[in-house]
């Protein structure tokens, strides 16, 4: 079981057991290194560790299910045994199902439950699920993203998928939604979604947000010469403050220590 904290957003630490993720690819490809990183993030204050075995960066090659399972299952089992709350970041029902059996307590699906069998898996397990919006697939999403009204269209997609999974039997309070920053969106689309976060929070589904180290931050702060990944921290924390004040319930981040401090500071002000 995983219950969201009340009064502050939960902090979800990112653990990519991949060779090619856009910011930490290769660093945690060895299971021992991945397990150590997960334990460290838990000790630093992460509420949940998001384990993924397939990069979703633009143009990333798909990973077969057997390889994804080989990467994530030993890491999920070892972390769960040690009491770490784990979410599985996958688009595949087969991987979600095995991860839940290995101890994961949340499913994080960047395809927003569009893949075969995913709805049935989460409904059967009654686990919290994050439905994320993506236009297209990781291979195609950044080629020419287009929306007439990005906030309205993304929100409508998320509400539609939430209704479908609830009809399949998942309890409504287990549904989280995520506008999918950087997934088939231009810089302007991302900024409009962040500006309109309140419209997602107003649905009353818990909102998850993932902006950590993403390229729109580099573009907004660097312009013609985007800031490199390692210089995007301040931009991400500014977004996290904005998100927390709007009522976002989960922040998906690489930098746990800095996010814990930011969140505690805002929480202290809000409770004074
Ligand atoms: N972003 C990424 C991956 N999974 N899940 C949700 N719910 N929301 C997000 O914004 C999100 C996500 C991409 O970031 P990262 O995991 O760091 O990179 P990669 O996909 O290259 O592994």
Pocket test of ligand 1: the residue of 14, 95, 107 to mutate, having most ligand atoms within 8 Å of its CB, is 14
Instruction: Give how far Cα 13 sits from Cα of 52, 65, 211, 239, 267, Å.
Output: 11, 23, 12, 16, 19
Q: Whose CA is nearest to atom 3 of ligand 1?
A: 56
Q: Which atom of ligand 1 is nearest to the CA of 55?
A: 22
Looking up tokens 């904290």 gives: 5
Residues 6+ apart with CB under 8 A from 171: 126
Rg (CA), the chain: 17
pLDDT at 21: 77
Q: Whose CA is nearest to atom 11 of ligand 1?
A: 210
DSSP string, 30-61: SHHHHHHHHHHHHHHT-SEEEEESS--STTPP
DSSP string, 16-37: E-SS--TTTTTTT-SHHHHHHH
| Number of other CB atoms surrounding residue 198 within 10 Å | 13
Measure the CA–CA gap between 123 and 174, rounded to whole angstroms.
Answer: 10
Which CATH number does 10-271 carry? 3.20.20.20
How many whole angstroms from 61 Cα to the centroid of ligand 1?
15
Check pocket membership of 56 for ligand 1, CB cut-off 6 A. yes
Check pocket membership of 71 for ligand 1, CB cut-off 6 A. no
Q: Which atom of ligand 1 is nearest to the CA of 54?
A: 22
Contact 155, 199 (CB under 8 A): yes
Check pocket membership of 90 for ligand 1, CB cut-off 6 A. no
Check pocket membership of 132 for ligand 1, CB cut-off 6 A. yes
How many whole angstroms from 167 Cα to the centroid of ligand 1?
27
Please list the pLDDT of the chain residue by residue as tens digits (272 residues): 899 999 999 999 999 999 877 777 778 889 999 999 999 999 999 999 999 999 998 888 899 999 999 999 999 999 999 999 999 999 999 999 999 999 999 999 999 999 999 999 999 999 999 999 999 888 888 888 999 999 999 999 999 999 999 999 999 999 999 999 999 999 999 999 999 999 999 999 999 999 999 999 999 999 899 999 999 999 999 999 999 999 999 999 999 999 999 999 999 999 99
Residues catalogued as catalytic: 214, 252
Check pocket membership of 16 for ligand 1, CB cut-off 6 A. yes
Q: Whose CA is nearest to atom 20 of ligand 1?
A: 56
Q: Whose CA is nearest to atom 5 of ligand 1?
A: 110
pLDDT at 20: 79
Helix (H, G, I), strand (E, B) or coil at 181: coil
User: What are residue 15's DSSP bridge partners?
Assistant: 51
Q: DSSP code of 209? A: E
Looking up tokens 């009204």 gives: 149
Contact 91, 52 (CB under 8 A): no
pLDDT at 60: 86
């Amino acid at each position: 079981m995983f219950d969201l904290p009340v009064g502050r957003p939960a902090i979800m630490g990112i653990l990519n057991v991949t060779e090619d993720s856009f910011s930490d690819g290769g660093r945690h490809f060895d299971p021992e290194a991945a397990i150590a990183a997960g334990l460290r993030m838990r000790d630093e204050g992460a509420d949940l560790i998001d384990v993924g075995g397939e990069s979703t960066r633009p143009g990333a090659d798909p990973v077969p299910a057997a390889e994804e399972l080989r990467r994530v299952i030993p890491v999920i089992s070892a972390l769960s045994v040690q009491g770490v709350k784990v979410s599985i970041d996958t688009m595949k029902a087969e991987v979600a199902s095995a991860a839940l059996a290995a101890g994961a307590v949340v499913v994080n699906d960047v395809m927003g439950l569009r893949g075969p069998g995913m709805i049935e898996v989460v409904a059967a397990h009654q686990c919290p699920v994050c439905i994320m919006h993506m236009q297209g697939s990781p291979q195609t999403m950044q080629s020419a993203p287009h929306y007439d009204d990005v906030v309205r269209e993304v929100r409508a997609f998320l509400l539609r998928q939430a209704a479908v999974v609830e009809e399949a039997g998942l309890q409504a309070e287990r549904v989280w939604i995520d506008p999918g920053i950087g997934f088939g969106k231009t810089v302007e689309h991302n900024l409009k979604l962040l500006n309109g976060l309140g419209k997602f929070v107003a649905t009353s589904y818990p909102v998850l947000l993932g902006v950590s180290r993403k390229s729109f931050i580099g573009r907004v702060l660097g312009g013609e010469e985007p800031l490199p990944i390692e210089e995007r921290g301040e931009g991400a924390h500014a977004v996290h403050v904005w998100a927390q004040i709007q009522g976002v319930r989960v922040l998906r981040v690489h930098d746990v220590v800095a996010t814990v401090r930011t969140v505690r500071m805002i929480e202290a002000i809000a409770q004074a």
